[in-house]
Amino acid sequence: MTLAGVAAGALASLAVLAFRWCIEAGQATFLPGGRIGNYEALPPLARLLLPTLGGLALGFVFARLPRASQGIGVVHVLERIHQPDRGRLPPANAVVQFLGGAAAIISGHSVDREGPGVHIGAASANLLARIWPHAPAEDNRTLMACGIAASLAAAFNTPLAGVLFVIEVLRVPYRIVRFFPVIMAAVVGAVISRAVHGPSPAFAIPPIDLGSLAELPWIAIMGAAAGLAAMGFVAASETILSRTLAWSPVACFTLAGACTGALALVTPQIMGISYDTLEQMLHGRLALELVAALIVTKLVATAISIGLRVPGGLIGPMLVIGGAIGSAAGLMAHAWFPAHAGTTGFYAVIGMVAMLGAALRAPMTALIALLELTANPNIILPGMLAVLSANLANLLLLGKESVFVAQERILRRTGGSP
């Protein structure tokens, strides 16, 4: 099985990198200057029409698919990995996820490539079970876990966080021998990603560190704010999903695109994955007014898109929204107590992981991702405080569960097929 983890990691990472290449090639063909993610340079009418018409076209395609083939995303994988009799991932659903996710992102919907990458990676690794037809259900689940860990390792260059994602988010029980293949797959995924994109992390993070211990109370407050924002997102997307399950894909995707396009008239940075905007926040290049607007518009656009079942992911938007919350906190810290404040990038990184940890209810995954992204052990202390504050705000004030668990529960209760 450990050797199978090598093959699973290679299949998953290559599939995820191909998915990323398709998105970037598609964006480079029509965005001004051939710049990936340069939706800000589009004229206002194009920003409104692109996601709307893209959603309309994507909705017509989905409406003609068999209902069984419409189950995609992390929720689909979460449901399958815990059912021995339905443990295998149909290749048709993975193809729908690949093409639908790429189309949604290229047309400017406020979703990411990492959520689809989890499905694509798990399904790619699951192909090994098809050439091993009598494989036990436990081995099949292990192969799926290998693909998930490898896909996230390839996406962010964070192999250990990919392994912990399998445990915390997908709730796969940790057993030492069973996780040898998962660890091996994550290593292979990271190696292939580094061979293609270089050894740097997913984001160009400047040198960052805690400015003073006096910042810690402010960091705790910022973490609590990120936790409340994360749970507000979960509640909004959950409500929208539960009330629109009977809607056709045409209505859902078109409405999601229209809402995103309308919000993009104010903040065009919310279109697509928005990692270029996140990089600017990490380097402190955005003003407080724009950052505050991004918190609201990106959260609303993503909650609507996820609630209306647009075939994209939410991990990236959580990082962007959390980065914006952290950037705003950093800018305010510099204005109120400049002698003690760390850099704006420091606050943005802490905000990213606080938001992600609260939305996914995966604090250890978020902290390990923080360590792998920054390669700076000194940031773990404030990171732990922020992630703890974010999760406590959730538990004590709202009590919301993980966004994926909430979606799976709604689909299972209403008879929908994730």
pLDDT 10s digits, 47-86: 999 999 999 999 999 999 998 889 899 999 998 888 755 5
Strand residues in 5-84 grouped as ranges (E): none
Helix (H, G, I), strand (E, B) or coil at 112: strand
Domain count, the chain: 2
- Beta bridge partners, 252, equal none
What was the pLDDT predicted at 234? Answer: 92
What's the mean per-residue pLDDT of the chain? 91
In a domain, 32, yes or no: yes
Q: What is the pLDDT of residue 189?
A: 95
145 pLDDT more than 80: yes
Instruction: Work out the average pLDDT over 312-330.
Output: 95
**Residue 357, domain CATH:** 1.10.3080.10
Q: Which structure tokens are listed for 119? A: 């499905």
- pLDDT higher at 263 or 126: 263
Q: Is residue 207 part of a domain?
A: no
Structure tokens at 245: 């399950």
Has residue 205 been placed in a domain?
A: no
Show which of 169, 197, 225 is a domain's final residue: 197
Q: How confident is the model at residue 133 (pLDDT cuts 50, 70, 90)?
A: low
Half-sphere exposure of 220 (CA within 13 A, CB side): 7
Q: Note whether 95 and 239 are same-domain residues.
A: no
Residue 332 domain flag: yes
Token pair 């018409």 is found at: 53
Higher pLDDT pick, 415 / 147:
147
Nearby residues of 109 by Cβ (< 8 Å), 6 or more positions away: 51, 54, 55, 256, 257, 260, 271, 272, 305, 310, 312
Same domain, 134 and 282: no
**Do 18 and 43 belong together in one domain?**
yes
The sign of the CA dihedral 283, 285, 286, 287 is positive
Report d(CA 396, CA 263) in Å as an integer. Answer: 32
Q: What is the pLDDT of residues 364-417, one digit of tens each?
A: 999 999 888 888 888 899 999 999 999 998 887 766 678 898 888 888 776 555
Residue 179 sits in the same domain as residue 74 = yes
Return the SS3 of 283: coil
Same domain? 219 vs 190: no
Q: What residue numbers bound the domain in which 109 lies?
A: 2-197
What are the Cα distances from residue 37, in Å, to 20, 25, 29, 206? 12, 11, 11, 21
- Give the separation between CA 347 and CA 364, rounded to whole angstroms: 19
Do residues 166 and 217 both lie within one domain? no
- Whether residue 248 sits in one domain with residue 193: no
pTM: 0.94
Summarize the confidence of residues 310-333 as an average pLDDT. Answer: 95
**Residue 88 shares a structural domain with residue 127:** yes
Q: Are residues 174 and 225 in the same domain?
A: no
Q: What is the pLDDT of residues 151-195, one digit of tens each?
A: 999 999 899 999 999 999 998 888 888 899 999 999 999 999 999
Output the CA torsion sign for 350, 380, 388, 148: positive
Confidence (pLDDT) at 416: 56
Lowest mean pLDDT among 102-116, 131-145, 342-356: 131-145
Say whether both 48 and 106 belong to one domain.
yes
CA dihedral 302, 304, 307, 312 (to 10 degrees): -40
What percent of the chain is modeled with pLDDT above 90? Answer: 72
